[in-house]
Amino acid sequence: MRNPFARRSAMDLSPPAKFGAFVLLLAWAFVVLFPIYWLVVTSFKTPNSVDKGPFYIPFVDFQPTLDAWRYILVELGNDTLRPYINTVIVGLTSSVIALVLGSLAAYALVRFTYRARVGIIGLGIGSMAFAFIAAALGAPLLVALASAVAIFAILAQTIGRRFTRAMGNSDIAFWLISQRILPPIAVAIPLYVLYQQVGLLDNIAALIITYVAANLPIVVWLMRDYFAALPRELEESAAVDGASIYRIVRSIVLPISVPGLVATFLIVLIFAWNEFLIALVLTSADAQTMPLQVAAQNATRGPQWWAMSVLILIMIAPVVIMAIVLERYITKGILVGALKG
């Protein structure tokens, strides 16, 4: 008699179980895809059709029109193009920088041992705070930064030697990811004041710097787990053959880390692409991004859902296409390291 509790593969299901799984997957696909369908349908509706709806099927419930597309792409062409270009520049640039810096930091946390002294870190934070306060009080930025560096160097060489308590690799990694716990609204006003003092308000450089700082902990955390799952023997063999650490990273680690890098890049790109609050605080006109342009369609006459639908579709299209093209890398990057031991 067959043991009903015997472990079987995922594909070894009875016909009723397969049918039930198919129905559940079909229902979930409907839940996921219906909002996209509703966006597409709404983008071809007139304001009158939206107000009198809901209408679901084009040419049956309503007559589709390109009025909303013409309004967004032609009548508001420049007002749509500028935020779109800003979104592309800010999203891609910040994601690439965060991926490069975060991946290097993650590899270092996996392959090297650190014993960073807490006191030295505190001196560094205090010196940075001194530079910001001095700049806020009217001191020239370069003078404030030079003074902070000098103060840090002097204190590190004198009282810094007395600090003995140190942080390990796990402590550093946890401290990095803990920065994501802080709600963005808590730093929005300080960021506004900081960029106002340095003259970077309504500038895409401010968004790039902020998004890099915000997404860096995510890259470090994800790539740290990915690098930890890679076989160390390959790197040790290359080191025995005389390869330097830079050659090992360039020729061995990076090629086999492409799935993890792609998956992580797409995750942080989505965060930067859809970010709203920081962009709302730091920009006004020149550096606006697409999320702000979508929100701007909620005018005095109420939400213009037809226009919002067009903007959302052209906003998410590049990311969706990129996810479809890179799907095989994303799947590998997510699964590697999920099962260890």
* Phi-psi label, residue 119: left if phi above 0, alpha if psi -120 to 50, beta otherwise: alpha
Average pLDDT of the residues in 181-197: 87
Say if residues 151 and 127 touch (Cβ distance below 8 Å). Answer: yes
The predicted structure's pLDDT at residue 341: 41
3-state secondary structure at position 167: strand
* Nearest-angstrom CA–CA distance, 183 and 18: 43
Q: What is the pTM of this model?
A: 0.82
Average pLDDT, the chain: 85
Instruction: For 251-267, write each residue's pLDDT tens digit.
Output: 888 888 888 899 899 99
* Nearest-angstrom CA–CA distance, 339 and 137: 53
Q: Which two tokens stand for residue 28?
A: 């979930």
Say which residue the tokens 């809901």 belong to: 54
Say if residues 202 and 283 touch (Cβ distance below 8 Å). Answer: yes
Q: How far apart are the first and last CA of the chain?
A: 33
CA-wise closest residue to 204 among 81, 98, 89, 281 = 89
Instruction: For 283-298, write each residue's pLDDT tens digit.
Output: 988 899 999 999 888 8
Instruction: For 307-325, write each residue's pLDDT tens digit.
Output: 999 999 999 999 999 888 8
